[in-house]
Structure 1
Amino acid sequence: MTSGSTGQIAGLAITSLLVIGFGIAMSVYFGRKAKSSKDWLSAGGSLPLIVVIVTQFATATGGGVLIAHVGIGYASGWSVFAYEACVLIGFLVLMLIARWLREQRFTTLPEIVTRLFGENKLVTAIAAMAALVVPFGWLATQFVAFAQLFSRLTGASPTVLILLIMVASLFFVLPGGLTSVAWTDFVFGLFMIVMSLGVAGYAIHLAGGWGQLTASVPQRLWGWQGVTAAGWEQIWLWVAAIVPGTLTNQLYYQRVFATKRVSDARRGLALSGLTMLIGGVYAGCIGLAVRAMNPGLANEEGATGWLLTQLPGWVVVVFGAFLVSTIVSTTGSALQSVVANLTRDVYQNIAGRDVDERRTVALSRLITVGVSVLAAVLAIQFSKALTWLVATYAYSAAVLAAPIFLGYLLHTRRRLTPAAAIGGMLAGLVGCAVAQTLDTAVPYAVYGIGSSAVVLLAIAFGSSERTTGVRRATEEEKA
């Protein structure tokens, strides 16, 4: 798609800067509430339920929903809801341990593993690496997505656009860490919900209305059967790939850690999962509308780009504001999550550096700048190579899923040791790599998780140490 007119480019630039400037102003305002390192790293357990719900939606709705999910809607109609439902299933499973997660006042995923299996630097190191690769991948790929999309709309240099989104992300995070990111995401999330539904409705209008759309698109896509139009084989592959990734995505856990009330931990996940279905409405409606207007697209993931060429100038400008708010909310959340791992797990827990509150916040801000620059450099130099980062979901899930969930189920019955965690995590890593090498039909994350679970259970039950639930619960309460 070529760039638009001078007026349209100017409108997009002004709108984008206004959205970013508004976000920065909110970040600075809410960042004043961050008084301690806990506030910076986990919002100090201060987020109301409605903020948790909307900020989960804003975090999860990134370039994937804007482009890839619309492609699913174009090719397979309402099957996009099957994809979104995988995230909902993941949230429902997380609900099983949500209350315990909030009660323990964790900051990162490695803290969960070490609480269950015992303090050990190797355990923390492996878990930290598995936890941070996913949000770092999100960060770098969102930089690339922003540059590619807006360079086509405006003709601006991708390098300049990457630097712009990098600076914007810094200003979203630096004032108050997760406190400022969560509240900014809340406001942007509300805007995104309204815009998602508005753009979906406008796309149907462009297609001639729902009646004309249904006359132009096969019923198997827009009818009730459209939910399974992608085919059960594809749907089960989505379940096998997306559910494990959701269960080990630190960004989702951090919102649970940050709930204001313990009772909100479960409700927040359930309601957040339901809001994800709004992404299905957006992607499905746009995909079907574009299918009705142009059924011959060579690449279904080009549906969003093609739609932009059909929109009036003023709609493109408004849609641009939606795109900016969507991407910067995801980059801010991903950046803060990586920084939390590096500060809490690597610097404090592995290196053993115990610093005061002021120095912890200062260090976190310094790390934020370093991570942002590294992600920008990778996005500029290796934008085409960043597709391999998709694999980080599989490896993260293979390493972390069994230790977190099996560890939780066993921790009141057996005295778990660091050896069980290390064995399980390494087995997950190897199992995932072997399955990927063999190019298995089932997503290789499944083999990794299975290998991890088998080895972890073998080591755990091979130990003669047992503990009663009452005794272990008492130890946790003291802790």
Structure 2
Amino acid sequence: MTAADVTAFVLAACPGRAVGSAKLIWIGSVVVAAYTIAGGMLAAVWTDLVQGLLMIVMSVGLFGLAVSRAGGWGTMLDTMWEHDPSLLFAVGTKPLTFIVGFAIMILFGAAGQPRLLTKFLILKNENELRWGAAVAGIAYAVTTLFSLGVGLSMRAMTIGGEAEELANIDNNATHFLATMTHPVVGGLALTALLAAIMSSASSFITIGASSLTRDLVGGLGITVRRELLWGRVASGAVVLAALLFALYLSELIFLLGAIGWAAFGAAIFGPLALGLYWKRATATATIWTIVVALGSNLLITVLSNQGWVALPGYFYLGGVSIVASTLVFIGISYLTGTPSDARRLEELYGEPHSAAAEPTPRL
């Protein structure tokens, strides 16, 4: 579940949200900004731990509750099978090409998510990397139980006439928590979902601040002397910018949320997965891959959202964009790179250059 998904859930669940949601956004922004600016990525890691445990407990509990409301696991599956067996197929009712595209986005796109990559980069011991895949896989599997349980139970209850058919299936979770659970349970579930927002937000704030204070100014030839101070200032600026976007450009926020996973995966997977080990990779290819990935995802999403372009049912943008951007990266690297200027891997790990560094301006 992405931050955009959870935000949509929160807004849909808040009556009178035109006024109330603005106050909630301000409160949430101040809280997240406070602990992120004070603790940086370390604060994000510790809050991720607490919020992750909360989401795991919520997912397991609501999975059991949802299945029991549908009459139990066997009864629920029997109801769906008798109505439409394809609902229980491994690929569901979607074409195989759609499923393959989705799998590509999830499997390879995960390597292009900055909020996940940074957590691996701050490990003190490289030996801990061996546990990364297992921990991530188990955590994702457990937290997915919420969507799995609510989705299947709502479909079975809709077929059996115990729940109304919703015009927008994305509202199933909201409807289930609002009408089929005790208010206390719904409140706890909402708390866990808000934890998912805060978990992603704190990481993105820190990443955005470091991009401003290290990547951007470094590209301009400027060295930051007081990195901690300027990092905190940049974190505040990122939060303020995000707050203004959320309050006045909500449509853009949802569009960016819709392309988030796919766009990051398409922009980062090729340069990162190949660029670290392939000596033919070039900076030019990296720049154009990022431009093409972000631009194409945003353009197609906007056009389809406005109804100007209708994507076929077998087409899944996320998987296609990752494959296309990777091919762009490889193609441009071959066109612009030569063996003589291929990057040395050891330079990426901090070995000094032979040439003396030129003096750089300082902040």
CA-CA distance at 1:254 after TM superposition: 0.6
Cα distance per residue 1:69-123 (max 9 Å; x no partner): xxxxxxxxxxxxxxxxxxxxxxxxxxxxxxxxxxxxxxxxxxxxxxxxxxxxxxx
Name which of 238, 254, 261 aligns with 2:102. 238
Partner Cα separation in structure 2 for residue 388 and residue 372 of structure 1: 19
The answer to whether 1:226 aligns with 2:89 is yes
Inter-CA distance 433–382: structure 2 relative to 1 (3 Å threshold): closer
The answer to whether 1:298 aligns with 2:173 is no
Q: Is the 8 A contact 1:397 1:449 kept in 2?
A: no
**Paired residue for 1:459?**
336
Name which of 214, 217, 223 aligns with 1:354. 223
Partner Cα separation in structure 1 for residue 119 and residue 201 of structure 2: 16
Greater shift, 222-231 or 265-274, is seen at: 222-231
Partner Cα separation in structure 1 for residue 104 and residue 231 of structure 2: 35
Q: Is the 8 A contact 1:399 1:426 kept in 2?
A: no
How do 1:287-436 residues align onto structure 2 when only pairs under 5 Å count? 287-295=151-159, 296-308=165-177, 309-347=179-217, 349-356=218-225, 359-389=226-256, 390-411=258-279, 420-426=282-288, 429-430=291-292, 433=295
Inter-CA distance 306–477: structure 2 relative to 1 (3 Å threshold): closer
Cα distance per residue 1:353-382 (max 9 Å; x no partner): 3334xx321211111111111111111112
- Which protein has the bigger helix share? 1
Q: Percent identity?
A: 22
Query: Alignment partner of 1:255: what SS?
Result: helix
Q: Is the 8 A contact 2:285 2:329 kept in 1?
A: yes
Name which of 52, 71, 76 aligns with 1:208. 71
Partner Cα separation in structure 2 for residue 154 and residue 473 of structure 1: 53
Query: What is the TM-score with the length of structure 1 in the denominator?
Result: 0.61
**Paired residue for 2:162?**
none
CA RMSD of aligned residues (A): 3.3
Inter-CA distance 204–367: structure 2 relative to 1 (3 Å threshold): same
**Paired residue for 2:327?**
450
Partner Cα separation in structure 1 for residue 138 and residue 38 of structure 2: 31
How do 1:17-166 residues align onto structure 2 when only pairs under 5 Å count? 61-63=1-3, 144-145=7-8, 148-152=11-15, 157-166=20-29
Partner Cα separation in structure 2 for residue 475 and residue 235 of structure 1: 36
Inter-CA distance 146–204: structure 2 relative to 1 (3 Å threshold): closer
Partner Cα separation in structure 2 for residue 188 and residue 226 of structure 1: 33
**Corresponding letter in the other structure for 2:211:** N
**Paired residue for 1:31?**
none
CA-CA distance at 1:146 after TM superposition: 6.7
Cα distance per residue 1:401-428 (max 9 Å; x no partner): 32222222323xx6x6xxx221343156
Cα distance per residue 1:151-189 (max 9 Å; x no partner): 239896121111121112112302210001101111221
Q: Which ranges in structure 2 are unaligned for 5 or more consecutive residues?
A: 160-164, 301-308, 353-363
CA-CA distance at 1:330 after TM superposition: 1.9
Partner Cα separation in structure 1 for residue 14 and residue 316 of structure 2: 37
Partner Cα separation in structure 1 for residue 205 and residue 189 of structure 2: 24
The answer to whether 1:187 aligns with 2:50 is yes
Partner Cα separation in structure 2 for residue 173 and residue 281 of structure 1: 29
Inter-CA distance 450–321: structure 2 relative to 1 (3 Å threshold): same
**Corresponding letter in the other structure for 1:287:** G
Q: Is the 8 A contact 1:250 1:337 kept in 2?
A: yes
Inter-CA distance 156–323: structure 2 relative to 1 (3 Å threshold): farther
Query: Alignment partner of 2:39: what SS?
Result: coil
CA-CA distance at 1:345 after TM superposition: 0.9
Greater shift, 233-242 or 281-290, is seen at: 233-242
**Corresponding letter in the other structure for 1:191:** L
Q: Which ranges in structure 1 are unaligned for 5 or more consecutive residues?
A: 1-60, 68-141
**Paired residue for 2:147?**
283
Partner Cα separation in structure 1 for residue 131 and residue 202 of structure 2: 24
Inter-CA distance 220–463: structure 2 relative to 1 (3 Å threshold): farther
Q: Is the 8 A contact 2:276 2:345 kept in 1?
A: no
Query: Alignment partner of 2:15: what SS?
Result: helix
